[in-house]
Amino acid sequence: MKLLHSVLLVLCLALAGQVRAEGNCPDGYYPIGGGGVEGCAPMPGGGEDEPPPDPGPQWENRWGVVVFDASKEVFGMSDGMRTKRKAQKAASAQCKQRGGRSCKIIGWAYNQCMALAIGDTWAHVSGGETPDVAQQRAISHCRSKSPNCGVEYSSCSYPVRVR
């Protein structure tokens, strides 16, 4: 009986060197596959110091505003501002420089283009992905209310890539 125990012990020790955890994969990897196809894939956080994934580009929003004083028939415009409030202040300041007193927002752009079309009796501000789209929309809306519409102002306030 002692001989049998000794033989089993020797066999176990001899086979211990052949035993590998994770199905013959190196440290930090685990087995994948099945049905006769096998391989190894890295374990998430498997001991390798990998940098965190790139979060991708980061963008800052931009605003543009058109204000109008109806009693004085004066406009003020701004574009490329970081906030709507700053855009409104800049447009209002321009309106007041031109003689306006009660300058109210009539249109704004957020990360896009805008255009102001003015006709005989109506004005309209429209936005769009490009200057052409914004201008076409502004003219179309203006013409639905007034004759002799033309684009008086157009600008884009596209977001700015900061990283």
Could you read off the pLDDT of 67-99 as tens digits, one per residue?
999 999 999 999 999 999 999 999 999 999 999
Contact status, residue 100 vs residue 73, Cβ threshold 8 Å: no
For 48-67, what is the mean pLDDT? 88
Among 7-16, 28-37, 44-53, 105-114, the range with the most confident prediction by mean pLDDT is 105-114
Is the pLDDT at 37 greater than 50? The verdict is yes
Q: Which residues of 42-67 are buried (b: 16+ CB within 10 A; e: fewer)?
A: eeeeeeeeeeeeeeeeeeeebbbbbb
Average pLDDT, the chain: 86
Report the C-alpha gap between 82 and 89 in whole angstroms.
Answer: 12
**% of the chain at pLDDT higher than 90:** 65
pTM of structure:
0.65
Confidence (pLDDT) at 46: 53
Is the pLDDT at 16 greater than 90? The verdict is no
Q: Indicate the helix (H) or strand (E) that contains 10.
A: helix 2-16
Backbone angles phi, psi at 71, to 5 degrees: -70, -35
Between the CA of residue 141 and those of 70, 133, 146, what are the distances in Å?
19, 12, 9
3-state secondary structure string, 95-137?
Answer: HHHCCCCCCEEEEEEECCEEEEEECCCCEEEEEECCHHHHHHH
The size of the chain, in residues, is: 163
Q: What's the distance, CA 78 to chain centroid?
A: 23
